[in-house]
A = this chain, B = another copy of it.
Amino acid sequence: MATIIDGNKTSASIRQEIKEKVQSITERGGKIPHLAAILVGTDGASETYVNLKVKDCEQVGFKSTLKRFDDTISEEELLAEVEAINNDPDIDGLIVQLPIPDHISVQKVTDRIRPEKDVDGFHPINVGRMAKSLPAYISATPYGIMQLIERYKIETSGKHCVVIGRSDIVGSPMSILLSRKAYPGNCTVTLCHSRTKNIKEMTLQADIVIAALGSPEFLTGDMVKEGAVVIDVGTTRVPDPSKKSGFTLKGDVNYEKVAPKCSYITPVPGGVGPMTRASLLMNTLLAAEKAIYR
């Protein structure tokens, strides 16, 4: 029987650990970690995400600052706001909730955030430091997956890991992280994507599969070998009239068919998802501790 990797429980443990650290910082009169978030416009989903992140900060005892701007804000003005936060010594970490309006360049905004405060890990310096195995902020989803692997003590050295999907935010960094000389890591990694011709042939060889392509139930039972570790990063909303919300969240894995063959598997929801917000808290703590950039 597969061990079900419980992202809710793991995420809760991490929050508890962070909360205790903040308490001990407070007791010794240290500086409380402080996250700033920028939200542009009134997109409902973005608003929900940012509010959850702010609530997370409260829950663990971080300070937080939410800066909201109309979607009419100019690129120049937004860059100036980023700059102001860069220069605010009380703020340790800064995130800009995406998407932002089309008239503002995401790349320019990302590049403007000081790497030392880039707790989303999107700045090219942090990506490059990660690739060079230097200390770096790892972005939320990959960091969350690494935590799950580590906390479930899953063996990775010498294992063949097949990553499906080459996105900047999940697949590509996962392929880099798992091939590094470290734990978790030291995997032989195969990165598959839309141009891969024989995905099934690849996944059947995998000791570890990271499914991050965003295609509901793509990974079927006949695509994995007995005893594989399966990490499901997919979260696609599929219409479902029987649900009050009107949709069901589907992963990239056909859980029912795949789970019986696995040694470990993450469910959707409740697997990788809950870890991403915990990752942001971990990165903010690292920023406050100046653990990445000294």
Contacts and interface: CB of A to CB of B under 8 A. Distances in A.
Nearest to A166: B179
Interface in A195-236: 195-198, 202
Q: How many copies of the chain does the oligomer comprise?
A: 2
B179 A193 contact: yes
A283 interface: no
A155 to B, nearest CB: 12
A239 interface: no
Contact of A128 (B128, B192, B198): B128
Contact of A124 (B128, B187, B193): B128
Nearest to A129: B124
Chain A interface main SS type? mixed
A131 B128 contact: yes
A188 B179 contact: no
A132 interface: yes
A125 interface: yes
Given A124-B124, A126-B128, 17 more contacts: A123-B128, A124-B132, A125-B125, A128-B128, A128-B131, A131-B131, A131-B168, A133-B168, A166-B180, A166-B181, A175-B179, A175-B191, A186-B193, A188-B193, A188-B198, A188-B202, A189-B190
